[in-house]
Amino acid sequence: MSTKRIFYSILITILLAGMMLFDVQPSYAQDSSLDNQVTFAQLKIPDISLKGPLGADSIRFTLPADWQMNNGAELHLNWHIFSGEAGDTLPGSVSPVAGFLTVRVNDIWVGTVTLDHTGEYTSVISIPNETWITSPRNARQSIRFSLESAQSCDMIQAALGRGIFTGLDAVIHPSSFLVLPHQDAAIPLDLTLLPYPLYQRSFTADTAVLVMPQKPTEGELQAAITTASAMGNLTQNGLLLTYVTADELDPAILDNAHAIFVGKPASFPVLQEARWSVPPVDGSFSTKQIQADDGVLQLAVSPRNATKAWLLVSGNTDAGVIKAAQALGAGAILPGGTPDLAVVAGVTPQRHAITQADLTLKDLGYQDMTLSGFGHQSLFVQFEIPRDYVVSNGAYLDLMYSNSALLNFEEAAVTLELNGEFIGGLRFNDRSTNTATYRFEIPSSAFQDGTNSINLIASLSSATPCIPENDVWISMWNTSSLHIPLEPIASDGKTLQYDLALYPQKVFPLYENMTFVLADDPVSWKSAAQVAYHLGGYPRGSIINPSVVFPESLSSEMRDGNDLILVGKPSMLSTLQLLTPDMPAPFGKGSDIATEANPEVSFRVPPENPVGYLELFASPWNPGRMILLVAGNGPEGLGSAITALTEKDRVIYPPLSGNLVSIHGTQMISQQVTLHPQQNVEVAPTPVATQAPVEVAPKQAINIDLPTFGIALIVTVIILGIVFWVVSRNRRNKPGM
């Protein structure tokens, strides 16, 4: 075989092998209808079980704020019908129809499916456009499923009496989905709707970035931390909130997230891109509507992404910026002129703690409450106990209520919990169909400092299977009364518990008289905002309204009267040097590594290794006040301390405990260090050491676009082949060859 034939054979073989290896596939246009599909799994809805002969359940969701619904919406149900035995029908039935499934969207009937066999069903139901709720003030959509047996109630009762009714049940699978044709619409700019549209609770993640000035004043930092707390409270920590300073703001962030700017307008040149009702001019607001120390709240559509909003928390002075942040936390905003602008003249923080022993639910701001429908349902009542009071014996709740006469009195009941602790229960009867009163005796040990939550859990069922669920109910009247005898306690710190396992509710019960002491660096500022956001979500209704200072500005008034949260690198927190005798693990001057007294095992760890610290101890200036240190020897160490403190699901770290926690990577060590009144430090003999599961990151593969690489390889081989052929040909044409 000639050299040329051998070469071509090799070349063809390489080409075929390359095509097989890289398997370059043709590209196809994606079905745009997939953009309109939302599965029940995306809505985080598991299997929906409906139990006959009359069963019902609902799902609720919110449409994105920038969606305007078009005609053609559909509900695709994948579901299964069960009976006691396959093919069973109720005794005496002459119809092959076993029952019906009725679907209502926002209480409007949209379809009924006839059930004529057991097993799997696939049903498609059209949803008229007029059924959707379009008002953002009540943006939650509802779809209700009602299962109903085709047999008469008399027949079912007879079958039940003879013990031969096998039941009719349905399960709707999470693979069911909605088809939601829509077009883009302008997002609403209305401050009275906050946290909407920044937080929508839709099936797309709500993300936002809080932007601080590059060099904030103490007042601007106070406003930023107050704003973070307010957003945590308004969204119950549901908003994915990140934090940057103005110089760190990446334009790509603004392309994909809502933005909250906190500070005087001169700090944010990017504000000029948006259309504001009152735009800042030359770094300030110059309209007569805004006086010198007024706060300014404004909403605007993001100029980078019309589906996102920008919220401005601002003013011409520190006092004005703080007022704007406090107004955001108050929850009720009164716009002036246009709904996207509010000017804040003043804020008076309100105290919500009870001040008398006897009060009604009406005194606490509650209306009459009614629960209806089958199964378990809950009502919550919250009130606050001042830190400087303790509840003595003899507390009780006199619950005034009435109930439906169609309840199953053998099963229907109400139980009462206080702060998660079972208190007692009551059974209904036919005598309580008119108003009745039941007294729950509450032990004093069930109360806690700060916010207390009463949970009334009703378990309702009907006397017969054919009673509609709306006819099964219980009403609780706001004339129900609480008796809570309060006694003042001395502020000597003896009743305080220095245990991070109680954080945050029992450490900072009312979030009042709180001062953040921050190192003067952006990492500390952003970390403190994370702490405030987390605190704002616990408990519902409490807003942090702290003061914020750098260490050199900490006044004696703040030290004596406030709880302190110190955040940052220890070497940048000079206040720690005043606290050395009082800390579970003090820091030497200029050191970022704590000195632990008599640890059970001592290790020599390189100082550059990231380590985070959490310490909780009594204030030496006021034993009735707490000091919390959140520190790290660098950004990574401080970040691990923040994660350990604020993590809800405890996936990375185990639960907190003790008054001293050190975090080394994925390992968290908790200790309870005993501090004597003489301030001698003693370590508990068996410190608690816990280690979180270590997640080993997989080795990263080189990211190669195989089809592109294959084509490049083939082209290279062809070029080399041509060069080889030309060289061979020239050589043959030379004399003597």
Hey, which of 127-136, 596-605, 707-716 has the most confident mean pLDDT? 127-136
Measured between its terminal Cα atoms, the distance across the chain in Å is: 19
Q: Final residue of a domain: which of 184, 205, 230?
A: 184
Residue 407 is classified by DSSP as: B
Q: How confident is the model at residue 555 (pLDDT cuts 50, 70, 90)?
A: very high
How far is CA 562 from each of CA 520, 622, 627, rounded to the nearest angstrom? 21, 8, 9
Average pLDDT over residues 284-312: 94
pLDDT digits (tens, 9 = 90+) for 687-711: 444 443 333 333 333 344 444 445 5
- What the block records as the tokens of 419 is 């702060």
Hey, which of 262-266, 418-422, 461-465 has the most confident mean pLDDT? 262-266
161: nearest Cα among 602, 487, 464, 378? 464
- State the CATH number of the domain containing residue 446: 2.60.120.260
Q: Which residue has the higher pLDDT, 27 or 151?
A: 151
Task: Please give the tally of structural domains in the chain.
Answer: 5
How far is CA 468 from each of CA 104, 148, 224, 309, 410, rounded to the nearest angstrom? 16, 10, 51, 44, 18
Specify if 628 maps to a domain. Answer: yes
pLDDT digits (tens, 9 = 90+) for 325-346: 999 988 778 898 899 999 999 8
Structural domain boundaries enclosing 174:
37-184
pLDDT for the residue 732: 55
**Longest CA pairwise span in the chain (Å):** 124
State whether 205 and 293 are in the same domain. yes
Average pLDDT over residues 16-20: 43
pLDDT for the residue 135: 86
pLDDT digits (tens, 9 = 90+) for 585-619: 999 999 999 987 666 656 667 778 999 999 999 99
State whether 643 and 726 are in the same domain. no
pLDDT for the residue 676: 56
State whether 102 and 217 are in the same domain. no
Q: Final residue of a domain: which of 157, 184, 211?
A: 184
pLDDT digits (tens, 9 = 90+) for 85-98: 333 444 434 346 67
How far is CA 570 from each of CA 172, 397, 551, 723, rounded to the nearest angstrom? 56, 48, 11, 68
Q: Which helix (H) or strand (E) holds 683?
A: strand 681-683
Summary mean pLDDT of the chain: 81
Q: Final residue of a domain: which of 484, 514, 543?
A: 484
Q: How confident is the model at residue 539 (pLDDT cuts 50, 70, 90)?
A: low
Low-confidence winner among 233-237, 486-490, 695-699 (lowest mean pLDDT):
695-699
pLDDT for the residue 723: 52
Specify if 273 maps to a domain. Answer: yes
Specify if 557 maps to a domain. Answer: yes
Average pLDDT over residues 408-414: 83
Low-confidence winner among 302-311, 362-371, 458-467, 648-657 (lowest mean pLDDT):
458-467
366: nearest Cα among 447, 458, 476? 476
Give yes or no for residue 21 having a pLDDT over 60: no
- What the block records as the tokens of 146 is 């009602």
434: nearest Cα among 478, 477, 391? 477
State whether 515 and 631 are in the same domain. yes
Q: Mind giving me the DSSP string for 254-282?
A: HHHSEEEEES-GGG-GGGGGS--SS--BT
498: nearest Cα among 655, 657, 709, 635? 657
Other CB atoms within 10 Å distance of the CB of residue 179:
17
Specify if 26 maps to a domain. Answer: no
- What the block records as the tokens of 65 is 């704020």
The Cα–Cα gap between 330 and 194 comes to 11
CB 235 within 8 A of CB 278: no
Q: How confident is the model at residue 137 (pLDDT cuts 50, 70, 90)?
A: confident
pLDDT digits (tens, 9 = 90+) for 65-119: 999 999 999 999 998 887 643 334 444 343 466 788 999 999 999 999 988 777 8
CA atoms in the 13 A half-sphere facing the CB of 51: 6
Give yes or no for residue 154 having a pLDDT over 60: no
Average pLDDT over residues 241-267: 95
State whether 202 and 339 are in the same domain. yes
State whether 147 and 165 are in the same domain. yes
pLDDT for the residue 693: 38
Q: Does the N-terminal peptide bond of residue 195 adopt cis geometry, omega within 30 degrees of 0?
A: yes
- Element counts in the chain: helices (H) and strands (E): 9, 40
State whether 130 and 82 are in the same domain. yes
Specify if 171 maps to a domain. Answer: yes
Hey, which of 406-415, 475-484, 689-698 has the most confident mean pLDDT? 475-484
Average pLDDT over residues 456-468: 76
Q: Which residue has the higher pLDDT, 156 or 410?
A: 410
584 phi, psi to nearest 5 deg: -60, -35
pLDDT for the residue 438: 92
Alpha-carbon Rg of the chain, whole angstroms?
A: 33
Q: How confident is the model at residue 522 (pLDDT cuts 50, 70, 90)?
A: very high
State whether 511 and 622 are in the same domain. yes
The Cα–Cα gap between 302 and 63 comes to 19
Locate all alpha helices (DSSP H) within 517-634, ordered by sequence.
522-536, 556-561
Average pLDDT over residues 624-637: 94
Q: Which residue has the higher pLDDT, 495 or 737?
A: 495
Specify if 489 maps to a domain. Answer: no
Q: Which helix (H) or strand (E) holds 195?
A: none
State whether 671 and 522 are in the same domain. yes
Specify if 3 maps to a domain. Answer: no
For residue 335, the cross-strand partners are: none
State whether 534 and 654 are in the same domain. yes
3-state secondary structure of 311: strand
Q: Which residue has the higher pLDDT, 577 or 652?
A: 577
State whether 209 and 335 are in the same domain. yes
State whether 576 and 605 are in the same domain. yes
For residue 126, the cross-strand partners are: 74
Specify if 7 maps to a domain. Answer: no
- What the block records as the tokens of 663 is 């975090």
